[in-house]
Every structure is written in C-alpha cells, then in structure tokens.
Amino acid sequence: MKHSSKIGLLISILFLIIFSPFVESKEGIYEVSNELMCPVCQGQTVAESNSELALSMREVIKNKLNKGESKEEILSYFVNLYGESILSKPPIKGINIFLWLVPPIILVISIFFWVIRVRRNKSKTR
Amino acid sequence: MRLNFLYISSIYILFSLLPVYSIDSKFIPINRDIKINQEMIILDGELNNKKFVLKNIDKLTIVNFWASWCKPCVAEIEELNNFQNYIIQEKLDVTLLGINIFDRLDDANKFYLKHHPVFEMLFDKERTISIEFAVAGVPETFFIKDNKILFKYVGKIDKEILKEGYDEAFK
C-alpha cells in the first residue's frame, strides 16, 4: 500500500470514529421522536414539528440517548408524563385493540356486502 | 306512560348536569413525584450568568412558566408581583419562582428589565425543564410540595387564584 493511501485510510477511520456517534445519535433522535406525537401540534410527530415544545422534547431525547437509555425507556418516560396519547402508534392492548381492529373489520364487511351486491346484480341481469 | 317519561327525563338531566357541578376546582390535579436537579440562569437584568440549581422541592413552591412573547404572561406579571408582596407581608411559607421557557436569554432579560418582577426569575438554558413538568404551553403555574407536583393552573393567573392555590396545597 502506498504511503498516501495509508494516510487516506487513517483519516477515513478517524473521521468515522469522530463523527459516527453524531450520525447515530441524530438517527436515534429521529427514530424515537417519530414515535411521539407533539402535544401542542395537530397531527404532527415530535420529529416533524418545529414548535418550541417539540424542540425541547428532542433535546431531552438527545440527552437520554447520550446517557445510554433505550428507545423503550425514553418512550415510557414520556408516557409517564403525558399519558399514552403521546404515542404515535398506540400499543395493541386494552381499548386500543378496538382502534386497531375496527378499520380491517370495516374493510372485510364492506368487501363482503360489495360481493353480495355484485352477485345479485349479475343474477338480475341474467 | 307519561310518568315513566318524566322519570327517565329527570334522571337523564340529573346525570348530564353532574359533570358540570363536579368541576369545582380551577386547578388540574397532577399528584406526580418529581426529581429535578437542574442548573438555571438567574435573570437579574444584567446577564451576569449567576446560576441557580433547582432541586429538592420540599417546601411549597409555586413555579410559573412564562415566555417574553406570550401576552397573558405579560398581563399576569403584576398579579405575581402582588402575590410576592403578599407572601412577604403575611410571612407565608411558600416560594414563588418564575421560569422562562421556549425563549431566548436576551428576550427574557429585556422582559425582566421592562416588567421588574420582585420574585426569583430563572432562565432554562438546558431547554428541558418544561418536559420534566410536562408543560404544554405558557403561562402555566405549578404547585409543588415534598417533591411532588400537586396541581397546576393553566392560563393567566391572578393574586386571588394564587391565594386559593396556596390554601389548597395545605389541605
């Protein structure tokens, strides 16, 4: 290996060592903040919102990630403060099961009635 | 038949009015333990960067969250000053604190110079204290005792409501 390519490789490794935690942290902040709804915004997650509260929430998420807290720990911290409505994806338990099941049930029922109607129409035309 | 109708209607009216009369308090109950150890900048109009560490809130403490751009916050400052004077006059066992959030230090300092608060005013340089209290907007006023947030008041507060909150905290 040439001397210049060795230096290039060394610089690349150093660059990765220095900047990889920041990249990781930024992705981590997005991942966690995208699972939290902004309490003062309409239909925006903390990742999407630029409100002051969302900025503060992202700051807290960054601090907690730097301390080594897991995504679940951070989410449960926010649920403890703001309640389960803070989650962008409500957990599939309790009354939330209803929220998850109603759309597919309505879809299945609609398809069922649509099929019946189409068959009836066909038999009438015959 | 008619009697049955009257009977059912009166029960319905009674139950519909129940929630209206059960809301007898201005305060939103919270009852949540809080662990804080946060360094903040004391606002003194001179930007001397003097520090204040907010921790172990054993004694009844009333924390008012505000921002310089918030109109109700400007409107309530006189009332907060009046209440601080009342605390001193009546020697009440309570601390009144103002914490500036969602703001810039310069603007918070200008607010201080313009409105001359007579109680301790702090600036949250970490931008995280609002989350510890789960503040949703400004102004909001929290009543804390024995490291527990008892309840909060949302919106422009006045001296009478602060007095009520003080009494409520000792019940």
What's the complex ipTM?
A: 0.73
Q: Higher-confidence residue: B81 or A99?
A: B81
Query: Could you tell me the two tokens for A49?
Result: 């919102």
**Which member of A39, A55, A81 has the closest CB to residue B127?**
A55
CATH class of A3-89: mainly alpha
**How far apart are the CA of B128 and the nearest CA of chain A, in angstroms?**
6
Q: Given an 8 Å threshold on Cβ–Cβ distance, is A53 in contact with B130?
A: yes
Nearest by Cα to B30 from B148, B158, B169: B148
Q: How far is B105 from chain A (nearest CA, A)?
A: 14
Question: Which stretches of chain A are DSSP H helices?
Answer: 3-33, 52-66, 71-82, 96-125
Residue B5 inside a domain? The answer is: no
The gap between the terminal CA atoms of chain A, to the nearest Å, is 82
pLDDT higher than threshold 60 for residue B18: no
Strand, coil or helix: B80: helix
- Residue B116 lies inside a defined structural domain of this protein: yes
Q: Does B2 reside within a domain?
A: no
Please give the Cα distance from B162 to B164 (Å, whole number). 5
Task: Kindly report the nearest CA distance between residue B114 and chain A, in angstroms.
Answer: 24
Return d(Cα B41, Cα B43) in angstroms, integer: 6
Is it the case that residue B65 has pLDDT exceeding 50? yes
Q: Between these two residues, A23 and B2, which has the higher pLDDT value?
A: B2
| pLDDT band, residue A8 (cuts 50/70/90) | confident
Tell me, what's the pLDDT at B112? 95
Banded pLDDT at B23 (limits 50, 70, 90): very low
Cα–Cα dist B91/B80, whole Å: 16
User: Is B21 part of any domain?
Assistant: no
The total domain count for chain B is 1
Q: Is residue B147 part of a domain?
A: yes
Portion 57-86 of A in contact with B at CB < 8 A: 57, 59-60, 63, 81-82
The first and second tokens of residue A51, run together, are: 């409100």
Window A:20-49, CB contacts with B under 8 Å: 39-40
The answer to whether residue B14 is domain-embedded is no
Q: What are B83-134's pLDDT values in tens digits? A: 999 999 999 999 999 999 999 999 999 999 999 999 999 999 998 999 999 9
pTM equals 0.74
Q: Cα–Cα distance between B79 and B56 in angstroms, integer?
A: 27
Does residue B134 fall inside a structural domain? yes
Query: How much is the pLDDT for B17?
Result: 54
In this structure, chain A runs to a length of 126
Q: How confident is the model at residue B22 (pLDDT cuts 50, 70, 90)?
A: very low
- Cβ–Cβ < 8 Å for B97, B120: yes
State residue B11's pLDDT score: 61
Mean pLDDT of B18-25: 52
Of the residues B34, B40, B102, B131, the best mutation for testing chain A's interface (the one with the most A CB atoms within 10 Å of its CB) is B131
> Nearest C-alpha of chain B: how many angstroms from A65?
14
Place of tokens 């060795």: A6
| Token pair of B15 as six digits | 């139950």
- d(C-alpha B27, C-alpha B23), whole Å: 10
Q: Where are the domains of chain A?
A: 3-89, 91-126
Q: What is the DSSP letter of A94?
A: T
List the strands of the sheet with B51-55, edge to edge: B28-33, B148-154, B140-145, B61-66, B95-100, B120-123, B37-42, B51-55
Which residues in B lie closer than 8 A to residue A63 (C-beta atoms)? 128
> Residue B119 is part of which domain span?
26-169
CB atoms within 10 A of CB A37: 22
- Residue B112 to residue B42: CA distance in whole angstroms: 11
Residue B101: give its domain's CATH number: 3.40.30.10
Residue range B27-50: mean pLDDT, rounded: 92
- Range A101-107 average pLDDT: 90
SS3 sequence of B28-77: EEEEEECCCEEEEEECCCCCCCCEEEEECCCCCEEEEEECCCCHHHHHHH
Cross-strand bridge partners of residue A87: A36
Give the per-residue pLDDT at B21.
47
H-assigned helices in chain B: 2-22, 71-90, 105-115, 129-132, 159-169
Please tell me the distance from the alpha carbon of residue B154 to that of residue B28, in angstroms, as a whole number: 8
Mean pLDDT of the B36-65 span: 93
Query: Which chain A positions have a beta carbon within 8 Å of B67's beta carbon?
Result: 52
Residue in A40, A55, A63 closest to B137 by CB: A40
Q: Using 50, 70 and 90 to split pLDDT, how confident is the model at B3?
A: low
